[in-house]
Amino acid sequence: MEKISIIVPIYNVAPYLPACLDSIIHQTYLNLEIILVDDGSTDSSNKICEQYKTVDPRIQVIHQKNQGVSTARNAGLALAAGHYITFADADDLLEPSLLAECIKAIETGQTDVLYHGFKKDVWKSGKVSSSLKGIPSFEGVLSKNQMKDYILAQKGNLNVNVFSYIFTRELIADLRFNPDLPYAEDAVFVMQALSKAQTYYFSANCDYHYNVRAGSAAYRWQPKLVECYRNNFMETRHFLESLELTSREMEEIMSQKYVDGYASLVYNLCLPTCTLSLKEKYRILQSARTEFRIDHYKRFYRLKEAGLFQKAKTFLIFRHFEIFLILFGTLYCKKG
């Protein structure tokens, strides 16, 4: 039974941390190395880490000054000694058999990396609504060549949340998260790992609970969003190049990335936490539109499978009318 290192970056999550740690230490897969990285918490998260360390000898705790989730994960990677490495967010939950089932699959397939789906639990006013996310259309082992066919069939859609992956330690030995990226840093890391991998296992297991709460990074204005997407697109292109896609196939997939990324930027500018002036928002959009080459990629973009609202907002973007989405930002945020 190979050891798996599970790295948990922690920052001010005291109300949720015990449930997360309980779900990890009670995994039916016992050969765990649990690395808790307290990233300068100012609540009682650091004390909770130390308390759990006394209860379970498999737990190691790193305390560091606050430097962000990427640096915290990197500290965990530097310490990790398991044959397999995975990650969990400190306010999420794992069902008891998740790791056991995933390790059985990855060892049966002898693959470099395993992907699994997840349950998205959205909390509002103390109530939760759950939905299954990231379920692959295929379950089993894919070679590099087969991965190309899979990506084309999925039109490039691939979940890049790092908690949905289990990596062999050898695969990611020289990879680290970029501490300069406050958003989508996990997408960049995942793409780098997938580019290096030669074999992949896709699992329909959705026993990871991703908890979405008010104030999470996905729902806050990100001043460096364009830079984050720039890095994400670059690594996505490198991954697609590793699959030896044709230039036409590449353009079709990247069109989805660039156009959807630009739409996400528009959405982010509409969030209540963005206090920029309308003039500044328009300047950012114009610059990003040019950098993302929206007028080039719109000819490759597929809208047939999109919903009515997505078609409407994409139509406005393609017609250079995205400023109307900014003007009616509250409605856009509710729909987006």
Over residues 37-57, the pLDDT tens digits come to 999 999 999 999 999 999 999
Domain extent for 156: 4-218
| pLDDT confidence of residue 295 | 95
Tokens of 88: 């969990």
Higher local confidence (pLDDT), 241 or 214: 241
Question: So what's the pLDDT on residue 307?
Answer: 75
Phi, psi of 119, rounded to the nearest 5 degrees: -100, 125
| Shared domain check, 120 and 259 | no
d(CA 27, CA 167): 18
103 contacts 22 by C-beta, under 8 angstroms: no
Is the pLDDT at 335 greater than 80, yes or no? Answer: no
CA 39 to CA 71: how far, in whole Å?
8
Note whether 184 and 279 are same-domain residues.
Answer: no
How much is the pTM? 0.92
Q: Is residue 93 part of a domain?
A: yes
Q: Is position 182 within any domain?
A: yes
For residue 330, what pLDDT band results from cuts at 50, 70 and 90? low
pLDDT above 90 coverage of the chain, percent: 79
pLDDT mean over 106-134: 91
Residues 292 and 203 in one domain: no
**pLDDT of amino acid 216:** 55
Q: Say if 232 falls within a structural domain.
A: no
pLDDT given for residue 231 in this prediction: 95
The residue with tokens 């310490």 is: 79
Question: Looking at residue 205, which CATH number applies to its domain?
Answer: 3.90.550.10
44 within a domain of the structure (yes/no): yes
Which band of pLDDT confidence, cut at 50, 70 and 90, is reported for residue 61? Answer: very high
Residues 279 and 207 in one domain: no
Residues 20 and 94 in one domain: yes
Query: Is 239 inside a domain boundary?
Result: no
What would the mean pLDDT of 139-145 be, rounded to a whole number?
96
Domain count, the chain: 2
In this prediction, residue 219 carries a pLDDT of 63
Are 255 and 211 part of one and the same domain? Answer: no
Kindly calculate the radius of gyration of the chain based on its CA atoms and give it in whole angstroms: 20
Average pLDDT for residues 190-214, to the nearest whole number? 94
Is the model more confident about 118 or about 308?
118
Which residues have C-beta within 8 Å of that of residue 67, sequence separation ≥ 6?
Answer: 39, 40, 179
Confidence band of 221 (pLDDT split at 50, 70, 90) = confident
